[in-house]
A and B are shown apart, each in its own frame.
Chain A
Amino acid sequence: RKEVEQDPGPFNVPEGATVAFNCTYSNSASQSFFWYRQDCRKEPKLLMSVYSSGNEDGRFTAQLNRASQYISLLIRDSKLSDSATYLCVGTGFQKLVFGTGTRLLVSP
């Protein structure tokens, strides 16, 4: 079993839709969590950090539930430019532990 698991998708949604991604992690010792975005044939880039209190950045909201070892990302009012792979990421000692990624396709 992978340490960070997420549905690979793809999620196909129309512009303007709200879409939610979920992820679970198995290492209860992980301290920090993030969502990274990766465009096709590009490097991963940090989208946002995830806190137990929730973290909102414009149309994006991330949430961490430590009791359930569950992380979520909500995207409201989807744009065509949101099409990408979203990587759920935990941390080990210094290193990042990535999920497989969830592919999002936003269509006109």
Chain B
Amino acid sequence: GAGVSQSPRYKVAKRGQDVALRCDPISGHVSLFWYQQALGQGPEFLTYFQNEAQLDKSGLPSDRFFAERPEGSVSTLKIQRTQQEDSAVYLCASSLPRVRQKPYNEQFFGPGTRLTVL
């Protein structure tokens, strides 16, 4: 079946531009996560949705970062006035609610969007 898809796969932005990154989770997965992975580092948590509710946005690095999931399916991560330090791979993951997966809630990752800010 279809996995998590993300678009675009690659994005080059000039410093100061706004960008929007899209994530299509696995059908039926109510939980959706965004992570940021800088070169040579592990992924870092950004934000988490359960259905359309954003339950945790503690990892968003600044108020330039905004995420939404208005209908509880597709999610968009928006970065305003991009800076060079925003250059990274942005990974989206989805999972079923923990109660339906025992003993753990495996997160399935999309291929990521590689953002380069010049």
Interface residues, chain A, with chain B CB atoms under 8 Å away: 4, 8, 32, 34, 42-46, 49, 87, 92-101
Contacts of A45 in B (CB 8 A): 109
Contact of B56 with A94 in the complex, beta carbons under 8 Å: yes
Could you tell me the distance in whole angstroms from the C-beta of B38 to the nearest C-beta in chain A? 10
Counting chain A CB atoms within 10 Å of each CB, which of B42, B56, B106 scores highest? Answer: B42
Contact of B104 among A8, A32, A87, A99 (CB under 8 A): A32
Using a Cβ cutoff of 8 Å, how many contacts connect chains A and B? 52
Please report the C-alpha to C-alpha distance between residue A62 and residue B24 in the assembled complex, in whole angstroms.
32
Contact of A43 with B104 in the complex, beta carbons under 8 Å: no
- Count the B residues whose beta carbon is within 8 Å of the partner chain — how many? 25
Q: Indicate if B41 sits at the interface (CB-CB under 8 A).
A: yes
Contact of A43 with B109 in the complex, beta carbons under 8 Å: yes
Q: Indicate if B66 sits at the interface (CB-CB under 8 A).
A: no
Contact of B43 with A96 in the complex, beta carbons under 8 Å: yes
Contact of B111 with A95 in the complex, beta carbons under 8 Å: no
Contact of A49 with B104 in the complex, beta carbons under 8 Å: yes
Instruction: Report B60-105 residues with CB < 8 Å from chain A CB.
Output: 91, 93, 98, 103-105
Contact of B111 with A43 in the complex, beta carbons under 8 Å: yes
Contact of A98 with B106 in the complex, beta carbons under 8 Å: no
Contact of A94 with B109 in the complex, beta carbons under 8 Å: no
Contacts of B93 in A (CB 8 A): 96
Contacts of B98 in A (CB 8 A): 94
Contacts of B109 in A (CB 8 A): 43-45
